[in-house]
Amino acid sequence: MSLRSTVSSASRKLRLAAALFTVYVLWATSYLAIKHAVGVFPPLLMSGLRSLLAAAVLYGLLRLGGQTLPPFRQWRDASWVGIFATTGGSALLAMGMRDTPSGMAAVLYATMPIFACLMLVFWWGARISGLQWLGSAFGLVGIILLNRDAFWGSAASLDGPPRLLGPGLVLASAACTALAAALTSRGKMPHSVLASTCIQLLVGGVVTTLVAIGLGQDIGRPSGSALGAFLYLSLVISVCGCLAFNDLTHRAGPAVATSYAYVNPPVALALGALFLGESVTGQGMLAMVIVLLGVAMMLYSTTRLSADSAPNLINHELKQ
């Protein structure tokens, strides 16, 4: 083996390792960063401005690569995807995480492939296997177990109202992102993934920011740490995460790229316990295992039926 081929092989392995670290670990830290940022930033305004900043960076990368955005007539489907993924996806996630522990939010958000598969079935008439139905059932059981106290009450929660709003918004966020993914697989998107993602973030960011302004949301004077969390979400999670996932999908295949769905929740649970003092109970761990088993069933069965539908889901995690 020549020196050139050895260096090339080592470079590919290093690039693969860096991409895996990004989607396995850095994406998992997004829940911790969101939890920190929404304590200061209004959720809608944070999500909108974050998307606009990420879109500006991606546009710069697009221009550096000698590419341009497609004509406006080709923006329609990508724009709808951006609205559902940003206004419905990341904004609802940020709103829900005000009342939801970061680890729980990661587990709930992991149900996104289940929502997407069900949407493809009921709205577009796609076929669904018995294993996919079983995966959906597992996901539902895991969600109920994870929120058992909110559904049936506990000694700590009987005196107050059911604590379902936060987790409900996180689930709605997962459903909106799943819809965006389904639209991606069914719509006419720009050929360049970078251009398509830039359009999605731009349009979604504009709409979300306008809604936030219409509701009277104001940044005020954010602390340095909150501003740091915002920049981290914009530049590292959105931009680097997008590029890493696309590279993984191209070089290692969708099975490797989508495996992040099994790794993010336990990492997020550990980070929440370590940095935010969130409790990790045996019930929560069991619920996480059940949800991830359901997701695994859905992704395994879907990749056998279609090489594109389920993998494209993860492209929108950059907007969480």
- State the Cα–Cα distance between residues 186 and 53, nearest whole angstrom: 27
Per-residue pLDDT of the chain in tens (320 residues, 90 and over written 9) = 565 666 567 777 888 888 889 988 999 999 999 998 988 889 999 999 999 999 999 999 999 999 889 888 889 989 998 999 899 999 999 999 998 888 888 888 888 878 877 787 778 777 777 887 888 888 888 888 877 654 444 434 434 444 788 999 999 999 998 888 778 777 788 888 889 889 999 999 999 999 999 999 887 777 888 899 999 999 999 888 878 877 776 677 655 666 777 788 898 988 998 988 888 888 888 888 898 888 888 777 765 655 444 444 434 444 45
Q: Which of 41, 48, 46, 114 is nearest to 85 (CA)?
A: 48
Read off the amino acid at residue 155.
A
320/305 Cα distance (integer angstroms): 27
Q: Could you tell me if 42 and 217 are in contact, meaning their C-beta atoms sit under 8 angstroms apart?
A: yes
Query: What's the pLDDT score for residue 51?
Result: 95
Residue 204 to residue 247: CA distance in whole angstroms: 23
Read off the DSSP letter of residue 71.
Answer: P
Residue extents of the structural domains in the chain: 21-319
What type of residue sits at position 200?
A: Q
